[in-house]
Amino acid sequence: MRGEDDRVSVSPGERSVRKRRARGSISADEILHGAYELASAESLDSLSMPRLAQRLDVGVTSIYWYFRSKEELLDVMTERALAEFDQAINVPVDLAWDEYLTTYFTAYRDVLRDNSLWCDLIVMRGSALSPEALRVAKQRVDVVVDILTKAGFATDDALRAHAVLSVYARGAILHYRQWDSPDSPVRIDAEFPDQIDPFSVTADEAFAFGLQNAIRGLRALLAQSAKR
């Protein structure tokens, strides 16, 4: 329990004696940066307006000059997370379509599984995206769709394939959070030897199986439509 000392506590001698800050001494960027750092170092759950203000050495209410609400602050944090996430996944575009999908969505899952802040902001939270963030998201989709259509898929099928695989990847992340994460609250200890343990499938195995299965399905779809 050491290290839990960063509460709001003020040592008895020096009573909260922060000087009033100058007029231009805070900025939206600075607040965003501080919030992101705090959530990064601890967790999104532990990001609160008072804790953030304390960290920035600012009055709590000052934050509200730059962000109408915590919600709005989180929205902007999500934009940053999305941009960083976007950069974290880079897949060579010269792969065959099935290899591309495998690489892309495996990275998609791994990255979000291993960065809990990105996961909290992007996967768990539905936030209002700015036109700019929307543009980036659409561009990503376009790359995948492009590769699939060039491989012979109809545009609609390519779009749906992307939607399906990203939904699947996010589902896998959600599942991981709840069952397979090292700090998951869920513990399974009961044993019923006469029944098959449906949780014996580890997350990695299961994810890879599902991804390959979906790609097998797409391959069959491609073969079907090629025949006609």
Q: Does 150 bind a copy of itself (CB under 8 A)?
A: no
The first and second tokens of residue 64, run together, are 């509200």
Binders of DNA in range 18-37 (CB under 7 A): 18, 20-26
DSSP, res 178: I
Could you tell me how many residues of this chain bind a copy of itself (CB under 8 A)?
62
Select the residue interacting with DNA from 2, 5, 8, 227 (CB under 7 A).
Answer: 8
The first and second tokens of residue 144, run together, are 């995948």
Q: How far is the CB of 45 from DNA (least distance, A)?
A: 9
* Binding track over 119-148 against DNA, x by CB under 7 A: ------------------------------
Question: Is residue 119 helix, strand or coil?
Answer: helix
CA 57, 33, 182, 202: dihedral to nearest 10 degrees? 170
Q: Which does 139 bind (CB under 5 to 8 A by kind): DNA, a copy of itself, none?
A: a copy of itself
The stretch among 4-12, 18-26, 100-108, 173-181 that binds a copy of itself (CB under 8 A) is 173-181
Q: Does 127 bind a copy of itself (CB under 8 A)?
A: yes
Which residue, 54 or 116, is less far from DNA as judged by CB? 54
- The Cα–Cα gap between 26 and 193 comes to 62
Beta carbons of 110 and 165 less than 8 angstroms apart: no
Distance spanning both ends of the chain, measured CA to CA: 67
Of 84, 43, 77, give the one whose Cα is nearest residue 63: 77
Q: Which does 70 bind (CB under 5 to 8 A by kind): a copy of itself, DNA, none?
A: DNA
Beta carbons of 108 and 143 less than 8 angstroms apart: no
- Footprint on this chain of DNA (rule: CB under 7 A): 7-9, 16, 18, 20-26, 47-51, 58-62, 64-66, 68-71
